[in-house]
Amino acid sequence: MKAALLALAAVLLAGCASSSGVQPEQPAAVEQTAPRQILVTVRQPATLAAGLTGAPSQRYLQRRYGPSPTVDRVLTQLAHEHDLRRDEGWPIQSLDVYCEVLTVPEGRDVAEVIAALQRDPRVDLAQPMNLFTTQTTRYDDPYVDLQSAATEMEVERAHELATGRGVSIAIIDSAVDGDHPDLRGRVRLTRNLATEHPTARGGEVHGTAIAGIIASAVNNREGIIGVAPDVSIAALRACWAVGADALAAQCSTFSLALALEVALGLQPNVINLSLAGPDDPLLSRLLDQALERGIVVVTAYPATPESSFAFPSSHPRVLTAHSSLVRVHSDSPFTLAAPATEVLTTTPGAGYAFLSGNSLAAAHTTGVIALLMERQPDIDAERIAAILTATTTYSSGNASINACRAVARLAGTEPCLTPPPSVRF
């Protein structure tokens, strides 16, 4: 059986083979800002948001709502005064604002336009339209122990104590293939918040891979096991693959803001953001809202520690995961190491592949947090960080969170003190 799965993985990855070993799959030139688009928010209290009815969890699932008449006039005036084109907008009720995307014409300095808008008393916020990239790479060598990450974190033993039952996770990413054999029944809600970027039928690679690590089914005679197989997932597409069947994906400030607003209405236990980009004021405010509501936010450490694109991992009180094979100089208990190299996970169309990158470390961390939350639903981010740090295991100088030891610590049991013979710490 193991030999057959290894052969299958070899076939799946044959198209990526090269003599150079690791092959990062990234676009030739990934822009970090949409060059001529900017975001402007104008105060719009919920009482002025005419037509917004129904439960918060349903209110923002369809993009039908426009600005109030007063806000619409303000936006029209701003666009006329600054020679801007109004593209699209969305009410962000959690911040009591209306958010509008505007395009600066050629020949105008974008930074100067933003500075002028920031000085305008009618404007709540003005900023560039930032772009974010997922933090994953594809490897060409499939000949490793299958799901070594699950072995390293003692996931199967952890499932004797918790499987994530009753825990909800919002995955803000590219599209998840909810029909994948290992993900059927796990994805309870899907929404596309990046409609301007078409998605292939059946999901996209990055989002499907993240969901597979977290929630793949067990005992279904299919593929792999997830860290927290009994969680429920809200798959919020805010990112789009940079090419057909590409692993790398991008997201914008606007699409991420839409997804975070939907997530705030859904009130999940955890939000997974396996991506990185520049500092972003609007998204920071939405993350603050999530944290104030007790939602745990998990992010991916930037691909290179010296990168200036370290948001949202730089945001206070979010849990940030990086590869267990990389040393990160941080004294923060919110920075955690998890498996991220040659991880076997799900891909669209009932596929599987070995992938690597900090995105996968974030997915593993999200799964372990779900196990803790099943045991203690009201556990907060500080307590989670303390437990995961205290139960981190070490092998050959590399650190990794440990699912079994973390859940056992919370449950007050000791089934994981002696690791199985196949794992050396």
pLDDT above 70 (res 53): no
What was the pLDDT predicted at 66?
80
CATH superfamily of 2-28+133-411: Peptidase S8/S53 domain (3.40.50.200)
What was the pLDDT predicted at 1?
37
- Give residues with Cβ within 8 angstroms of 348, minimum separation 6: 177, 180, 200, 202, 203, 204, 205, 208
Task: Report DSSP letters for 258-282, one per residue.
Answer: HHHHHHHHH--SEEEE-EEBS--HH
CA-to-CA separations, 148 to 152, 322, 344, 424, in angstroms, rounded: 6, 17, 8, 12
Other beta carbons within 10 angstroms of residue 326's beta carbon come to 17
Q: Which of 102-116, 189-203, 292-306 has the highest mean pLDDT?
A: 102-116
pLDDT in tens, 367-418: 999 999 999 999 999 999 999 999 999 887 789 999 999 999 999 887 675 5
Say which range, 77-86, 148-157, 165-174, 415-424, has the weakest mean pLDDT.
415-424
Strand partners, 272: 171, 298
What was the pLDDT predicted at 305?
64
What was the pLDDT predicted at 51?
47
Say which range, 123-127, 188-192, 220-224, 316-320, has the weakest mean pLDDT.
220-224
Q: Where are the domains of the chain?
A: 2-28+133-411, 34-123
What is the mean pLDDT of the segment spanning 35-43? 93
Say which range, 176-180, 349-353, 359-363, has the weakest mean pLDDT.
349-353
Count of helices and strands (H, E) across the chain: 12, 19
pLDDT above 50 (res 31): no
User: For helices 403-411 and 358-375, what crossing angle results, to 10°?
Assistant: 20
Other beta carbons within 10 angstroms of residue 395's beta carbon come to 13
Please indicate whether residue 308 or residue 342 has the higher confidence score (pLDDT). Answer: 342
| β strands within 260-349, DSSP E | 270-273, 275-276, 296-300, 319-323, 335-338, 343-347
What was the pLDDT predicted at 306?
62
Mean pLDDT, the chain, integer: 84
Say which range, 56-60, 86-90, 152-156, has the weakest mean pLDDT.
56-60
What is the mean pLDDT of the segment spanning 290-309? 87
Q: What percent of the chain has pLDDT over 90?
A: 64
What was the pLDDT predicted at 65?
65
Band of residue 116 on the pLDDT scale cut at 50, 70, 90: very high
Say which range, 83-92, 110-119, 360-369, 412-421, has the weakest mean pLDDT.
412-421
Say which range, 218-227, 254-263, 337-346, has the weakest mean pLDDT.
218-227
Band of residue 16 on the pLDDT scale cut at 50, 70, 90: very low
What is the mean pLDDT of the segment spanning 52-70? 55
- Give residues with Cβ within 8 angstroms of 367, minimum separation 6: 155, 164, 213, 214, 215, 226, 227, 228, 231, 403
Residue in 164, 186, 165, 167 with CA at minimum distance from that of residue 176: 186
What is the mean pLDDT of the segment spanning 214-227? 90
pLDDT in tens, 225-278: 999 999 999 999 999 998 878 888 999 999 999 999 999 999 999 999 999 999
What was the pLDDT predicted at 45?
87
What was the pLDDT predicted at 19?
24
Q: Decide: 276 and 26 in contact? Cβ < 8 Å.
A: no
Please indicate whether residue 414 or residue 24 has the higher confidence score (pLDDT). Answer: 414
What is the mean pLDDT of the segment spanning 27-56? 64
